[in-house]
Amino acid sequence: MQFSTQEILFAFGLTLFAGLATGIGSILAFFTKSTNKKFLAVSLGFSAGVMIYVSMVEIFFKAKNALILDHGEKIGYWITIAAFFGGILIIAIIDKLIPEAENPHEMKGVEAIPKDNDPNKKLIRMGLFTALAIAIHNFPEGMATFAAGLADPSIALPIAVAIAIHNIPEGIAVSVPIYFATGNKKKAFWLSFLSGLAEPAGAIIGFLILAPFMNNTVMGILFASVAGIMVFISLDELLPSAREHGEHHLSIYGLIAGMIIMAVSLVLFV
């Protein structure tokens, strides 16, 4: 299965856009006095709705159709299911291996930025581990965005926007402990910003490794795994964080709105 240079550059551009949204979170953390919790709850719920809907309705079945071409109806479907839950297992293991204190998926608001800085070796170590943690998390997310871009450009843009939205509070979560560790806004911003580069790095490395073997089976397994990763991120991170930062119903309204907009866009543009 071959992709044109234009298709590859488009997918990579979306991945870069989504990854660097962590820098936006850092900027908001330093120049906003308080978190708009209602807006954040709706936005995170919206992102979850987009990612869940497109994963289960579009990407999962693209994976199944690709695998059926090579392996037949029954075996192709079983491989799709295994790859889907395999993607969930991979991101769950990564999430489990990172301590809660350094986990960027443990969201923090702008209010969490301390006013009294006390740099020391322990805090600096915590800040560096936080930057490493988000880089590890962003790596498979980068592959997910890139794969979506290759799978279908019409569904790739809303996915990239959804991941970018969820990367903004991640940027806040990363910059807070780094700023707390160093007392340096610039260092906190740049480390958070650069940690977002793990997403395009994941896209490049994943593509270079898989490109020589790219066929219906590889693409099907990749797409199914991506669907699993996105569903796990939505259920484990986005929805709980949305509920934590705002009213329960706001996150659900955002979730439904994300699904509706994704559904309508698929009808109009696919």
Higher per-residue pLDDT: 79 or 102 = 79
Domain range enclosing 76: 5-269
Residue the block writes with tokens 């234009």? 6
Judged by DSSP in three states, 170 sits in: helix
For the packed helices 198-210 and 5-19, what is the interaxial angle rounded to 10 degrees?
150
Q: What is the mean pLDDT of residues 174-198?
A: 76
pTM for this prediction: 0.68
Q: For residue 256, what pLDDT band results from cuts at 50, 70 and 90? A: very high
Total domains present in the chain: 1
Which of the given ranges, 25-29, 48-52, 146-150, 211-215, has the highest pLDDT on average?
48-52
Q: Is residue 100 exposed (0-12), middle (13-18) or buried (19+ Cβ within 10 Å)?
A: exposed
CB atoms within 10 A of CB 90: 15
Residues in the chain: 270
